[in-house]
Structure 1
Amino acid sequence: MTSLSPRPLVLMYHGVDHVPADRDPYGMFVTPAAFRAQVEQLLESGFVPVSEDAYLAALAGGPALPRKAALITFDDGYVGVGEHAVPVLASFGLPSVLYVPAGLVGGASVWLEPRHRHLLMAGEDLVAVHRSGMAVAAHGFDHQDLTTLSAADLRRHTTEARAELEALLGEEVRTFAFPYGTHDARVREAVRAAGYRAAFAVHDGAGDFAVPRVDVNATDSMLSFRLKLRRSYPALRRALGRAPAVRRMAHDLLSRAPGDEHGESSLAGAR
């Protein structure tokens, strides 16, 4: 296996739905209209969305990806992704990957405060979206921070989670996304040893088993979304992170979606 160079753009979404601000304090839910506009912008900008199959084949030394390849991913498995995002992607014939906590299939986002929880897809929903062209992969067992777990618990969140999803889908589960984006060397090795071929983080990358992603959230305007499509965005985000006041100013200028009532988004407690 070899690292991809240049790496494709990897976008990370959570929910796609109509959710009022008081039920979405972390700005996780992009509206269906905003999602469609973002997909259209992605294509108009020359990006070529690729499948998990194509990504992993290129990672293993197979056919190279397009120069402006993009991988569209979703974390958690909210029902609105099946109801709203899948039809948009299907209308363009685009692939994507959905990361779900195997122990919460058919449940809710119980890692959030009760009033901020939302329903997650049931098993039959996951089978249906998988048949529509959305790969389904692992996001731990019940959305715990893997860096806090014992070796035995890590096996539950990696090996056992994989086995449960494979039993549901009837095929191999090949990639993993870290809950909250948190990982360390021990966790990355546990994921690799469980048989996954690649894993995805959020902003902090570490090779093929912690590939960084660009988060898209409820407060993104089209201007901020276009900025996030630029290869320079991760470096810009790191620079702004070292200057919080400048970052807040940039957020206010760029990331207020028209007509959106959300305040500044912070996914730190929600991913």
Structure 2
Amino acid sequence: MNGPVPILMYHAVGHRPAKAAYGLSVSPEAFGEQMELLAERGFTPLTTAQLAGAWRSSGALPPRPVLITFDDGYEGVHRHALPVLAQHGFASTLFVSTGWLRGRHDVGGALDTMLDWDQVRELAAAGTEIGGHTHSHPQMDQLSGEQVWFETLRCRQIIADELGAEPVSFAYPYGYSSRSVRRTVREAGFAQALAVGNALAVRRQGPYALERVTVRRSTGAEEFERLVEGRGIARNFAGDRALTKGYALVRRVTSAGRKVTRSRV
């Protein structure tokens, strides 16, 4: 019940994704093989809301739980991932940046072809949980309090208007958050939120800082198997963690400088 759970973080799924989205994409063939492995090994995919709800209530989890999550809202999730998920009867969670999706809310800035709202509704109807990922995909821990509120509430309002149901799960763009950001996400009405961390999720992380593991274009079959089995994750992402620690220091200094500047204005 309280054991570690792999939360897989995907982005684009496509044959020829745009250069800016390529590294964090997977090919349709690789995605199909990865889902086949989950099925063969007896994993049970859950939505983000299902996992957090079970942990919050101390409820029982099914055998070998796993989460399949997609960030941003790339069109290939509907074109390539949805048929594979439907084939296996797998649940998933899609976190959308509402200002990146095609349609009347589009503010530009997307890295590749994005979903439109009809496709998002089809994903939701097929059992995919639709969560929030801000409106314009900013680095939330570098924003003012008012900007964080706007990005969070605007995203939640648009999803509720388009789908007829308020989203309950959230994912931080780039995985970046802070105590104040997490508080705002909670106060805005989201019941749980995902970071990155490149580690397995455990209950003690709390409902607003659950960690995920990144699936990339370069993730081979053997590496994927190790990720979902929880083996060698620290070694696989050693370089990422070193960069993250260094960048975190830069970000703290930058954020502090901005706060000082705002206080002088």
Instruction: Give me the TM-score of the superposition, normalised by structure 2.
Output: 0.81
Q: In the alignment, which of 122, 142, 156 is matched to residue 136 of structure 2?
A: 142
- Secondary structure at the residue paired with 1:30? coil
- Secondary structure at the residue paired with 2:130? strand
Structure-2 residue corresponding to 1:259: none
1:202-217 map, 5 Å: 202-203=196-197, 206-217=205-216
**Runs of 4+ in structure 1 displaced over 6 angstroms?**
none
Alpha carbons of structure 1 residues 138 and 233: separation in structure 2 relative to 1, 3 Å: farther
Q: In the alignment, which of 106, 118, 138 is matched to residue 124 of structure 1?
A: 118
1:82 aligns with 2:72: no
Structure-1 residue corresponding to 2:191: 197
- Describe the superposition over 1:126-147 as per-residue Cα deviations: whole angstroms up to 9, x where unpaired: 1111101111110011000001
Structure 1 gap ranges (5+) = 245-271
How far the C-alpha of 1:54 sits from its partner, in A, is 2.4
How far the C-alpha of 1:175 sits from its partner, in A, is 0.5
Point out the more displaced range, 32-41 or 11-20.
11-20
Point out the structure with the larger helix share: 2
Using the aligned pairs only, state the percent identity.
34
Structure-2 residue corresponding to 1:12: 9
Structure-2 residue corresponding to 1:59: 55
RMSD: 2.4
- Describe the superposition over 1:209-241 as per-residue Cα deviations: whole angstroms up to 9, x where unpaired: 011101111111101111211224443346555
CA distance in 2, matches of 1:241, 1:140: 24
Q: How many residue pairs are counted as aligned between the two chains?
A: 236
- Secondary structure at the residue paired with 2:211? coil
1:220 aligns with 2:219: yes
- Secondary structure at the residue paired with 1:235? helix
CA distance in 2, matches of 1:111, 1:99: 16
CA distance in 2, matches of 1:179, 1:106: 19
1:251-266 map, 5 Å: none
Is the Cα–Cα contact under 8 Å of residues 134 and 154 in structure 2 kept in the other structure?
no
Look up the equivalent residue of 1:147 and give its one-letter code.
D
CA distance in 2, matches of 1:203, 1:228: 13
CA distance in 2, matches of 1:241, 1:95: 28
CA distance in 2, matches of 1:111, 1:17: 19
Structure-2 residue corresponding to 1:159: 153
Structure-2 residue corresponding to 1:261: none
